A and B are shown apart, each in its own frame.
Chain A
């Protein structure tokens, strides 16, 4: 899973600022997932994307959160006007577009809102 690259690893933002989290999938993977994990909790699905297309965004908050996966470049999870409740670990995973292959995870970005 070392092939999925997330940056930054740690991000500190003041309330009201914007946070941009980046995810470069493994080579050959066209599908990306974003998850949020609060301390001592499981992974909560946020959004599932393929290149230039959002497949499922049912886990995304309706406001302030957006995600994209452009034709070129990494997938971006953007959080506008961050609040303390946004503090969490955000994980990205990538996979080929088949159900019968595992998704590999990045190391995560730990967002702290102060």
Chain B
């Protein structure tokens, strides 16, 4: 069964607009962590933001925020005021207790000037 689902293969957004990248997950473990990574065309994997299952508030890191809806099992990434440099692949990932880090299929985000 797919643990992490990203339903948007590609998204196109105008510069300076906000963008939401969708991620849903599946787990029965009450303790887990959710992560977003960015992979630019150069290929490296860059950690963006983390949300713990017990965290009461949504995580924020600069222009990145994570819209965590636990009951719906969703962890959408919101990028405010998008920039051309935000064009990249974005991966959602989850880690359950003592388990491997599992990734979604990714969303390719393109920011248009």
Using a CB–CB cutoff of 8 Å, the interface residues on chain A facing chain B are: 1, 33, 35, 41-43, 45, 48, 55-56, 89, 91, 93, 95, 97, 99-105, 107-108, 110
In the bound complex, what is the Cα–Cα distance between A11 and B29 (angstroms)? 39
Q: Is the CB of A107 within 8 A of B43?
A: yes
Interface of chain A: mostly helix, strand, loop or mixed? strand
Using a CB–CB cutoff of 8 Å, the interface residues on chain B facing chain A are: 31-33, 35, 37, 43-47, 50, 52, 91, 95-106
CB distance from B13 to the nearest CB of A (A): 20
> Given A42-B91, A43-B91, A55-B98: A102 and B47 within 8 A (CB)?
yes
The one of A45, A101, A104 in contact with B100, judged by C-beta atoms closer than 8 angstroms, is A45
Q: Is the CB of A42 within 8 A of B106?
A: yes
Interface of chain B: mostly helix, strand, loop or mixed? strand
CB distance from B79 to the nearest CB of A (A): 18
CB distance from B90 to the nearest CB of A (A): 11
Q: Is the CB of B103 within 8 A of A99?
A: no
> Given A33-B100, A45-B103, A56-B99: A100 and B43 within 8 A (CB)?
no
The one of A56, A100, A110 in contact with B52, judged by C-beta atoms closer than 8 angstroms, is A100
CB distance from A9 to the nearest CB of B (A): 10
Q: Is the CB of B104 within 8 A of A93?
A: no
Q: Is the CB of B101 within 8 A of A103?
A: yes
CB distance from B68 to the nearest CB of A (A): 14
Q: Which residues of B contact A33 (CB under 8 A)?
A: 100-101
The one of A95, A99, A110 in contact with B32, judged by C-beta atoms closer than 8 angstroms, is A99
> Given A42-B91, A55-B98: A105 and B45 within 8 A (CB)?
yes
CB distance from B91 to the nearest CB of A (A): 6
Q: Is the CB of B44 within 8 A of A48?
A: no
